[in-house]
């Protein structure tokens, strides 16, 4: 995952000098703290937050016990990890559900933060949990915002309530009536983007809050925001007493320091993050996992959850049996490719594997087009070929390339990849985690 990659790279680098050292001098620790400070500042963590963070870590790190302990380097990594977790909130905070229906979630934020897109993602997320979700178009200012929400609602197959460009409060009130009448238990209000210093528009939100009493007020923040993130979050929080934060665009190469600062300043938890352009690209935010990612320790839990989403239990059992018997065929590979599409970007997943995130710089991007090419190639093979790829010689390769609209080179590449995958699976059977390292050669 590109998320926090640069920051975790830098942290990795700083810690590689500390880890496994049996003795550390005060000077070395101070040097490391300076480097951590720069890494955090370059990652757009707020200046004040950085100051406090490094002061806290330094104080703990320079304590007697640490310097005298057997593994001071490890201890410091642990201190930084603990402080990072504390900074972001310690556990994942779920969305609250209202006492009586409908539960109302109000989205707010600056222009271009990604509120409308996030409304769709959140709707889909809640739908998967069995909720019936109504999206409400309260952005009556931006040209075509209503139409955008309608299309977004369509994509996630839920309804969009709109009344054109009248007062947002009126729309919200009517929407709740409509929701009650039509059995919707959850209502998401999409509001217009506004500057936190625009008093008239902020008043509108305050009015919405007072009348609608939303279950949650969620501030949507672009994760690429710089030092100003804190000013913005603070202003929204002071006026609306927000209940949570959603970080968007975390799939860029942003170092995402804004995420670190906002919790520290507002005290409000980050609840979700947006990680891609598709409606299903939303993740529950887990501070402790994020801290691991930042420190380059990988995020196995999220990986497992993603896999659970994509594979059924049965499929997983079948696959593991095949792995044990070493009877993995191209047909299974095809099935896997299908599931992978469900799981999301391959590069993202690889980065969650401990020890790999720091070493994958410059790895080729695996895009979905390539996966569909691979699928086309396998589909152009006969069942016999899929089971015994050894029989695929020159003339068959040519036929497969023609049949799938690809080139012989691509067919060769796929066959090679498949062999490597099979090889890797065999290794994983033998070596557990060590086998995972073989993955590196794959990408």
Partner 1 sequence: MGFFQKIVAGIKKTKDALSKKLFFAFSARALDDEFYDNLEEALLVADVGYEATEALISELKDEIFSRKIKKPEEARDVLKQLMIDDLDYEIPEFEYPLVILLSGVNGVGKTTAIGKLAHMFKDMGKSVVIAAADTFRAAASDQLEVWGERAGVRVIRHNEGADPAAVVFDAISSAKAKNTDVVLVDTAGRLHNKKNLMAELQKICRVVERELPQADFRKYIVLDATTGQNAVSQAKIFSEDIETDGIVLTKLDGTAKGGVVLAISKEVELPVTYVGVGEKIDDLIPFDATDFVNALF
Residue 127, Cβ density class (10 Å: 0-12 exposed, 13-18 middle, ≥19 buried): middle
- For partner 1, which is the closer residue by CB, 95 or 136? 136
Binding mask 253-292 for partner 1 (x = CB under 8 A): xxx-xx------------------x---------------
Task: Check residue 148 for interaction with partner 1 (CB under 8 A).
Answer: yes
Residue 416, Cβ density class (10 Å: 0-12 exposed, 13-18 middle, ≥19 buried): exposed
Task: Check residue 8 for interaction with partner 1 (CB under 8 A).
Answer: no
Residue 88: both structure tokens together: 């972001």
Task: Check residue 55 for interaction with partner 1 (CB under 8 A).
Answer: no
Q: Give me the least distance between CB of 430 and partner 1, in Å please.
A: 35
Residue 46: both structure tokens together: 């707020």
- For partner 1, which is the closer residue by CB, 104 or 156? 156
Q: Give me the least distance between CB of 9 and partner 1, in Å please.
A: 13
For 14, phi then psi, to 5°, come to: -65, -45
**Do strands 270-274 and 282-284 pair parallel, antiparallel, or not at all (unpaired)?**
antiparallel
Task: Check residue 144 for interaction with partner 1 (CB under 8 A).
Answer: yes
Q: Give me the least distance between CB of 36 and partner 1, in Å please.
A: 12
3-state secondary structure 152-178: HHHHCCCEEECCCCCCHHHHHHHHHHH
Q: Contacting partner 1 (CB under 8 A), which of 43, 107, 208, 218? A: 43
Task: Check residue 227 for interaction with partner 1 (CB under 8 A).
Answer: yes
Residue 255: both structure tokens together: 């170092």
- For partner 1, which is the closer residue by CB, 50 or 66? 50
Task: Check residue 431 for interaction with partner 1 (CB under 8 A).
Answer: no
- For partner 1, which is the closer residue by CB, 44 or 204? 44
Of 342-401, which residues contact partner 1 (CB under 8 A)? 365, 367, 369
Q: Contacting partner 1 (CB under 8 A), which of 10, 121, 132, 249? A: 249
Other residues' Cβ atoms within 10 Å of the Cβ of residue 27: 8
Among the listed ranges 218-226, 238-246, 350-358, 420-428, the one in contact with partner 1 (CB under 8 A) is 218-226
Other residues' Cβ atoms within 10 Å of the Cβ of residue 367: 12
- For partner 1, which is the closer residue by CB, 141 or 328? 141
Q: Contacting partner 1 (CB under 8 A), which of 55, 96, 166, 197? A: 197
Q: Contacting partner 1 (CB under 8 A), which of 28, 35, 41, 131? A: 41
How many degrees, rounded to 5, is the angle at CA 411 between CA 405 and CA 414?
125
- For partner 1, which is the closer residue by CB, 109 or 269? 109
- Order of strands across the sheet that contains 133-138: 159-161, 133-138, 186-191, 103-108, 216-222, 244-248, 270-274, 282-284
Q: What is the CA radius of gyration of the chain?
A: 25
Please spell the DSSP secondary structure of 102-168, one letter per residue: PEEEEEE-STTS-HHHHHHHHHHHHHHTT--EEEEEE--SSTTHHHHHHHHHHHTT-EEE--SSS-H
Among the listed ranges 63-71, 81-89, 205-213, 229-237, the one in contact with partner 1 (CB under 8 A) is 229-237
Task: Check residue 239 for interaction with partner 1 (CB under 8 A).
Answer: no
- For partner 1, which is the closer residue by CB, 152 or 175? 152
Peptide bond into 405 cis (omega under 30): no
Tell me the sheet residues that pair with 103.
186
Task: Check residue 304 for interaction with partner 1 (CB under 8 A).
Answer: no
Q: How big is the chain, counted in residues?
A: 443
Task: Check residue 155 for interaction with partner 1 (CB under 8 A).
Answer: yes
Instruction: Report how far residue 145's alpha carbon sits from residue 382's, in angstroms, rounded to the nearest whole number.
Output: 49
- For partner 1, which is the closer residue by CB, 250 or 415? 250
Among the listed ranges 140-148, 174-182, 404-412, 435-443, the one in contact with partner 1 (CB under 8 A) is 140-148
Binding mask 92-121 for partner 1 (x = CB under 8 A): ------------------xxxxx-x-----
Instruction: Report how far residue 136's alpha carbon sits from residue 189's, in angstroms, rounded to the nearest whole number.
Output: 5
Q: Contacting partner 1 (CB under 8 A), which of 30, 34, 47, 416? A: 47
- For partner 1, which is the closer residue by CB, 76 or 149? 149
Burial 328-362 (b: 16+ CB within 10 A, else e): bbbebbbbbeebbeebbbbbbbbbbbeebbbeeee
Task: Check residue 195 for interaction with partner 1 (CB under 8 A).
Answer: yes
Tell me the sheet residues that pair with 217.
106
Which residues of the shown chain bind partner 1 in the complex (CB under 8 A)? Answer: 2, 38, 41-44, 47, 110-114, 116, 142-145, 147-152, 155, 195-197, 222, 224-229, 231-232, 249, 251-255, 257-258, 277, 365, 367, 369
């Amino acid at each position: 995952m590109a998320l926090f990659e640069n920051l975790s790279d830098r942290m990795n680098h700083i810690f590689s000098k500390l880890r496994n050292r049996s003795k550390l001098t005060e000077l070395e620790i101070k040097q490391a703290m300076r480097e951590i400070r720069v890494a955090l500042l370059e990652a757009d963590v707020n200046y004040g937050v950085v100051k406090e963070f490094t002061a806290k870590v330094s104080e703990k790190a320079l304590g007697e016990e640490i310097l005298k302990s057997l593994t001071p380097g490890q201890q410091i990594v642990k201190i930084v990890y603990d402080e990072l977790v504390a900074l972001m909130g310690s556990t994942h905070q779920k969305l609250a559900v209202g006492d009586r229906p409908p539960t109302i979630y109000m989205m707010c934020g600056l222009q271009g933060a990604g509120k409308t897109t996030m409304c769709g993602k959140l709707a889909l997320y809640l739908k998967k949990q069995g909720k019936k979700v109504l999206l409400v178009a309260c952005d009556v200012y931006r040209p075509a915002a209503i139409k955008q929400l309608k299309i977004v609602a369509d994509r996630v197959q839920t309804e969009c309530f709109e009344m054109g460009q009248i007062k947002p409060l009126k729309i919200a009130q009517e929407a709740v009536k409509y929701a009650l009448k039509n059995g919707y238990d959850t209502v998401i209000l999409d509001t217009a983007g506004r500057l936190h210093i625009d008093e008239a528009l902020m008043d509108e939100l305050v009015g919405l809050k007072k009348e609608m009493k939303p279950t949650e007020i969620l501030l949507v923040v672009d994760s690429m925001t710089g030092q100003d993130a804190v000013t913005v979050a603070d202003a929204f929080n002071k006026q609306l007493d927000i209940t949570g934060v959603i970080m968007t665009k975390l799939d860029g190469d942003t170092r995402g320091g804004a995420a670190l600062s906002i919790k520290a300043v507002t005290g409000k938890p980050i609840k979700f993050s947006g990680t891609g352009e598709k409606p299903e690209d939303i993740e529950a935010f887990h501070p402790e996992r994020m801290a691991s990612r930042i420190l380059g320790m990988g995020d196995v839990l999220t990986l497992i959850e993603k896999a659970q989403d994509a594979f059924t239990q049965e499929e997983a059992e079948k696959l593991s049996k095949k792995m044990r018997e070493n009877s993995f065929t191209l047909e299974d590979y095809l099935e896997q490719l299908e599931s992978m599409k469900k799981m999301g970007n391959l590069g993202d997943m690889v980065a969650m594997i401990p020890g790999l995130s720091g070493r994958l710089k410059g790895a080729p991007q695996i895009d979905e087009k390539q996966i569909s090419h691979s699928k086309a190639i396998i589909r152009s093979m006969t069942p016999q070929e899929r089971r015994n790829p050894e029989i695929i010689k020159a003339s068959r390769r040519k036929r497969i390339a023609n049949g799938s609209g690809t080139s012989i080179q691509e067919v060769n590449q796929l066959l090679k990849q498949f062999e490597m995958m099979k090889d890797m699976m065999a290794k994983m059977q033998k070596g557990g985690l060590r086998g995972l390292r073989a993955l590196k050669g794959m990408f």
